[in-house]
Amino acid sequence: MYLIKIIREILGNKLRCEINLKIGSKIIANFFLQACSIGFSLITAIILARTLGVAEYGTYAYVMAIISILVVPTTLGLPNLIIRLFAGYRVNSEWSLMNGLLRRTNQLVIIISIVMIAFSGLACWRLIVTKSSLFYTFLIALILLPVFALNSIRSAVLTGLNKTVISQIPGSFVQPFTFILFISLFYFLGFNLNSSWAMVFQDIASIVSLIVGTFMLVRHLPSQFKASQPKYDTLKWTKSALPLFIVGGMMLINNRIDIIMLGIMKGATEVGIYQVVTRGAQLVSIPLLVVSVVISPIFSELYVKKRMEQLQNIVTRSAQAIAILSFPFFIVFVLFGASILYRVFGSNYVAGSTALAILSFGQYCNAFAGSVGMLLNMTGHEVDSAKGVTIAAITNIILNLILIPKWSITGAAIATSISMILWNVILSIWVYKRIKIIPTSLGNIGTIFTKDS
At 197, is the pLDDT very low, low, confident or very high (cuts 50, 70, 90)?
A: very high
CA distance 440 to 450: 12
pLDDT higher at 309 or 210? 210
For residue 379, give every residue at least 6 positions away whose Cβ sits within 8 Å of its Cβ, in sequence order, or none: 299, 300, 303, 434, 435
pLDDT band at 128 (very low <50, low <70, confident <90, very high): low
* pLDDT classification of 416: cutoffs 50, 70, 90: very high
Instruction: Please give the backbone phi and psi of residue 379, each rounded to the nearest 5 degrees, phi first.
Output: -115, 15
Torsion angle, CA of 256/257/262/268, rounded to 10 degrees?
40
Mean pLDDT of 69-81: 84
pLDDT tens string 58-72: 999 999 989 988 888
Distance (Å, rounded) from C-alpha 145 to C-alpha 296?
Answer: 25
Comparing 173 with 332, which gets the higher pLDDT?
332
> What is the percent of the chain where pLDDT is above 70?
89
**What pLDDT is recorded for position 262?**
92
Reported as type and span, the H/E element at residue 98 is helix 95-127
Contact 290, 7 (CB under 8 A): no
Provide the residue ranges of all domains of the chain, joining segments of one domain with +: 2-450
The C-alpha atoms of residue 211 and residue 110 are separated, in whole angstroms, by 15
Residue 288 three-state SS: helix
**Which residue from 213, 242, 210 is spatially nearest to 80, judged by alpha carbons?**
242
Angle at 164 between CA 43 and CA 82, to 5 degrees: 110
Is residue 288 exposed (0-12), middle (13-18) or buried (19+ Cβ within 10 Å)? buried
Q: How confident is the model at residue 1 (pLDDT cuts 50, 70, 90)?
A: very low
Name the burial class of residue 190, with classes exposed (0-12), middle (13-18) and buried (19+) by CB atoms within 10 angstroms of its CB. exposed
CB 412 within 8 Å of CB 403: yes
Give the per-residue pLDDT at 138. 93
Tell whether the model's pLDDT for residue 137 goes beyond 80. yes
Residue 304 has pLDDT above 90, yes or no: no
pLDDT digits (tens, 9 = 90+) for 209-266: 999 999 999 998 888 888 899 898 888 888 778 777 777 777 777 778 889 899 889 8
Q: Residue 66: which H helix or E strand, with range?
A: helix 20-75
Q: How far apart are CA 12 and CA 244, in angstroms?
A: 33
Residue 444, pLDDT > 70, answer no
- Residue 12 φ/ψ, nearest 5 degrees: 60, 175
Closest CA relative to residue 298, chosen from 119, 127, 91: 91
- 294 vs 59, higher pLDDT: 59
